[in-house]
């Protein structure tokens, strides 16, 4: 029985490995393209939070930033769909995430209940969950294999 369970377990793990990276890519594509498009269309539930966050910027109006960030997110989603543009997607994502976390600092009255950092509001939870998005992006980045790595031209320094 143990052999059967081990074989089943190995099969499930193999299938999960085969599906996980494409699933992350597709998830990023859907989420970033969909949510990104809502912003310039004026249909995003995050519009108020975004505008309140960027109001202090010395250039551009909150309405312009809403459009820029929306199309930036669409670009992130499109770039994550293709292996060849994963690095671009990760750079754009990390830059975007810097701004995404700003309300936790500049709008604590909106992102935390009674300004208690242990009690995030729904908005605060929405922002904090982006840690998982960053983690998934790091997984994709770790899966990038260049021709140099594939051919063994660059020494693997792991564990040294």
Per-position b or e across 86-118, b if 16+ CB within 10 A of its CB: beebbebbeebbeebebbbeebeebbbeeeeee
Task: Please write the tens of the pLDDT for every residue from 102-121.
Answer: 999 999 999 999 978 899 99
Greater confidence (71 vs 150) lies with: 71
DSSP letters spanning 52-81: HHHTT-SSS-HHHHHHHHHHHHHHHHHHHT
Per-position b or e across 38-67, b if 16+ CB within 10 A of its CB: bbbeeebebbebbeebbeeeeeeebeebbe
Q: How confident is the model at residue 159 (pLDDT cuts 50, 70, 90)?
A: very low
Q: How confident is the model at residue 144 (pLDDT cuts 50, 70, 90)?
A: confident
Q: How confident is the model at residue 12 (pLDDT cuts 50, 70, 90)?
A: very high
Does the pLDDT at position 157 exceed 90?
no
Q: What is the pLDDT of residue 56?
A: 85
Q: What is the pLDDT of residue 145?
A: 77
Looking at every residue in the chain, the average pLDDT score rounds to 90
Task: Please write the tens of the pLDDT for every residue from 42-77.
Answer: 999 999 999 999 988 888 999 999 999 999 999 999
Q: Which two tokens stand for residue 92?
A: 């754009």
């Amino acid at each position: 029985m143990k052999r059967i369970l081990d074989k089943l377990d190995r099969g499930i793990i193999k299938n999960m490995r085969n599906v996980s990276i494409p699933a992350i890519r597709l998830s990023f594509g859907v989420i970033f393209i969909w949510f990104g498009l809502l912003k310039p269309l004026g249909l995003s539930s995050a519009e108020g939070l975004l505008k309140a966050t960027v109001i202090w910027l010395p250039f551009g109006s909150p309405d312009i930033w809403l459009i820029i960030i929306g199309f930036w997110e669409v670009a992130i989603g499109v770039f994550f769909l293709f292996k060849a543009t994963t690095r671009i997607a990760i750079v754009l994502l990390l830059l975007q995430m810097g701004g995404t976390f700003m309300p936790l600092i500049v709008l604590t009255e909106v992102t935390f209940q009674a300004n208690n950092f242990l009690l995030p509001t729904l908005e605060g939870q929405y922002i904090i969950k982006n840690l998982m998005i960053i983690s998934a992006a790091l997984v994709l980045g770790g899966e990038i294999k260049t021709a140099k790595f594939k051919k063994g031209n660059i020494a693997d320094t792991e564990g040294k």
